[in-house]
Structure 1
Amino acid sequence: MKLARFLHSLLALACLRTAFAMPPQAECLIPSKPGGAMDLTCKLAQQALHADTELKLSYLPGGVGAVAWHTMAAQRRSDANTLVTFSGGSVLNLALGKFGKADADDVRWVAAFGADYGMIAVRADSPWRTLGDLLKALKRDPKQVLIGMSGTVGSQDWIKMALLARLTGIDPRAMRFVALEGGGEQFIAMGAGHVQAVSGDTSEALLNAGDGKIRILAVLSEQRLPGRLAGVPTAREQGYDVVWPVIRGVWMAPDVREADYRRWVAAFVQMESRPEFAELRERAGLYPFSLTGDALTRYIKQSIDGYHRQAEQFKLLREP
C-alpha cells in the first residue's frame, strides 16, 4: 500500500509539472514597428523569462494595435503560446471603440509588469527650454508647431497634449499633430525635422536620449522620477497639473485553455519575484507595477470606465 501511494504521488507530481511546464519556445507579438515602448516591453519579457522559455519577437503593426488584436481574435483564438504586448494606450483605444466592437472580455489579460509615464520632448537645439515655452508658442500660433504622436486624435499621446493645452487656454483641436506608428518613429521624425515636439512616454525617451539630441521638457508623473530622468521636472512642478501613468504588459487570445492561461500567469508571477527582474525593469526605463490574471482584468475594466469619462470631456466617443 505504501509503495502504491508513493507511486501515485509521483504520478500526480509529474502531471502537475507537465501542466505548468513552459513551452520550449513561444512568441511575443508586438503591435507596432521596432524601436518603441511596445518593442521594449516584449524584450523585457524575453530577457526575464529566458530561464523558462525562449520568447521569439514578431512585429505586426497597424491601427495602433487593432491589426494584432483582430488577428488573434479571428485567426489564432486558441493559440496558447503567443503573448501580445499592450499598454495603457491600447486600453484607451479599446475604450474609444478603435478596435471596432471589441471589449475587454474578448482577450485574456495575463500580466502587467511595469509602468512608465507620459513625457513631452523637443530636439536639443529647440528654442523651447521648458514646457511653458512650448505651450506659449502653441498659444501664440498652434499651427506653427507640429507635434509627433503615436496614433491619431483621441490616442493617449493626443490626450496628454490636449490636457496640457486646455490648462493653457488652447483649443486642443487647433493643434497640429502628425500620426505615427510607435515611439521609435516619433523620434526619427523629430530628428529629421518633420515635427518640432513629441508627445510620448518616458521609456521611449530613454531609448533615444543617449546621444544628447533630445531635450525632455516634462515628465507626467506625480513626482520626479529616479535614475536618468531625475533632473527632468514634472509638469506639475511647472504649473500644469497633468499626470499620465502608462502600464505595460501582455495578453493572450480568447479561447486559450484555462490551464494554459494559468500557466502563463504563474510564469509572470514567478518572473517578477526574481531578484534580477527589478534590475532588468529599471534598465528598460520602467517603474514598478505588478498585476496578473483576474486582478489585472479588473484593473483593465476600471481603466476603461475612466477613459470613457475623459473621452466624454473631449467629445471623442463615437455616436452609437
Structure 2
Amino acid sequence: MAGITAIAAAGPLDKTECIAPAKPGGGFDLTCKLAQAALMEGKYVSDPMRITYMPGGIGAVAYNAIVAQRPGESNTLVAFSGGSLLNLAQGKFGRYGENDVRWVAAVGADYGAVIVAENSPFKTMADYVAAAKADPTKVVFGAGGTVGSQDWMKAALTARIAGINPKSMRFVAFEGGGEAITALQGGHVQVYSGDASEAAEQIKAGAKIRVLAVMADKRLEGSLDKVPTAKELGFDIEWPIIRGFYVGPKVSDADYKVWADTFSKMMATPAYAKLRSERGLFPFSKTGADAASYVKSRVADYRKMAADFGLNVTPAK
C-alpha cells in the first residue's frame, strides 16, 4: 500500500473522476469504466474512480464545461471518441477547438467495417464495387446516425471507392447499429458501414451478416482475423474509432505527465489487454505528446474529409 500512497500524494491520482459525456451505458461510459477497472486493478489509485455523466452534443457539453468552468482539475479525466473528434472538425463543439484541452491518452480502438447480409450477392469488396459502378441506384447504404456522422462518413468513403458521389448515394439513417443490421438482414439496405466489434458481437449472437473488409491498418485480432483490410484489397480506406481521455487546459505539465506515464505503464500490462478486449476494443495505445499529436492530425484529416464531402467545417482554432 505504500506505493499507492506515494502515487496518490502526487495529486492527480487522488479522488479521481471520469466524466462520460453521455447517458450511462454507451461508449463513453465503457471508456470510463475501462480506466476505472484498470487503475484499480493495477493499484495506481487507492479509491475507485468516480464516474459522472454529462450528456449533450456527443461530448460538446462536457468539453465546454471543462474548458470554461473546470480547466485546472488535474484529477478529472473526460472520455472522448473518434466521434468527438469528427464533431470538433465540423465545429459542433461551439467556440472551442482541438487545441483547447490537453489530450492524455488513446486507450483502445474499434474500426469501421463494410458489412453485408449473409445471403448478399456481394461476396467480396470487388463484387460490391462492380455492382455499384454498374447501377448505383441498386445499392442502398445503411448507417447509424445522420449526414456527417461517423457511420455516414464511412458509407461516403465506401461509396466513393465505387465511383458514387457521396451526395447522391442512396442512404438510410438508423437510430443505431442494431436497427441497421436488422434492415440489412431484411434486404432493405445492401451495405452497412458499421463497426468491427459490433459486427463480431452480432455474428456471435446469430446475426446473418458477413464482413467484407475492415477499415484498419492491419488485420484485427479475434473472430475477425480472417477478414481482409480494405487496403489489402486495394481500397484506400482507414477508419479507426479511437477512445481515450483528455484533461482541462490549465492542468500543470507535472500533473499531465503523471497521467500520461500512468496510462503508459498500465496499457503495457497483460491485465490491461484483457480488460480492453472484454470491452470490445482492439489495441491502440498513445499517451502524452504522442496522443496529442495523433488527435490533432486526426481532426485535421476529418476537417479535410468533411470539406471534400461538402459538409460544414471550421478552421483550426
TM > 0.5 = yes
TM-score (norm 2): 0.78
Tell me the matched-pair count: 304
Q: Deviation digits for residues 53-100 of structure 1, max 9, x if unmatched?
A: 423444444433323323433444444443222223322321222222
Query: Structure 2: which 5+ residue stretches go unaligned?
Result: none
Aligned to 1:18: 9
- Per-residue deviation, 1:138: 5.0
Compare the two structures and name the one with the higher helix fraction. Answer: 1
2:311 to 290, 293, 316: 316
1:29 pairs with 2:20: yes
1:284 to 279, 289, 297: 279
- Per-residue deviation, 1:146: 4.5
Q: Given that residues 138 and 175 in structure 1 are in contact (C-alpha distance below 8 angstroms), is that contact kept between their aligned partners in structure 2?
A: no
Which has the larger displacement, 16-25 or 265-274? 16-25
Letter in 2 for 1:47: A
Query: Structure 1: which 5+ residue stretches go unaligned?
Result: 1-13
**Any idea what SS the aligned residue of 1:281 has?**
helix
Letter in 1 for 2:270: P
1:85 to 70, 75, 79: 79
1:228 pairs with 2:201: no
Q: Deviation digits for residues 159-190 of structure 1, max 9, x if unmatched?
A: 22222212211111112445566xxx222443
- Per-residue deviation, 1:254: 3.0
Shift in CA distance, 223/71, structure 1 to aligned 2, threshold 3 Å = same
Q: Deviation digits for residues 247-274 of structure 1, max 9, x if unmatched?
A: 3211123344555433332321231133
Aligned to 2:33: 43
Q: Given that residues 20 and 28 in structure 2 are in contact (C-alpha distance below 8 angstroms), is that contact kept between their aligned partners in structure 1?
A: no
**Any idea what SS the aligned residue of 1:106 has?**
coil
1:296 pairs with 2:258: no
Aligned to 2:95: 101
Alignment of 1:143-158 (within 5 A): 145-150=140-145, 152-158=146-152
Q: Deviation digits for residues 183-234 of structure 1, max 9, x if unmatched?
A: xx22244336686643232233334332121432321123322321012232
Q: Given that residues 77 and 256 in structure 1 are in contact (C-alpha distance below 8 angstroms), is that contact kept between their aligned partners in structure 2?
A: yes
Structure index of larger Rg: 1
Aligned to 1:203: 197
Letter in 1 for 2:39: L
Percent of aligned pairs sharing the same letter: 47
Shift in CA distance, 263/236, structure 1 to aligned 2, threshold 3 Å = closer
Alignment of 1:54-73 (within 5 A): 54-73=48-67
Letter in 1 for 2:88: L
Q: Deviation digits for residues 128-152 of structure 1, max 9, x if unmatched?
A: 44444555565535486251134x3
Please, what is the CA RMSD of the aligned residues?
Answer: 3.4
Separation in 2, partners of 1:252, 1:180: 33
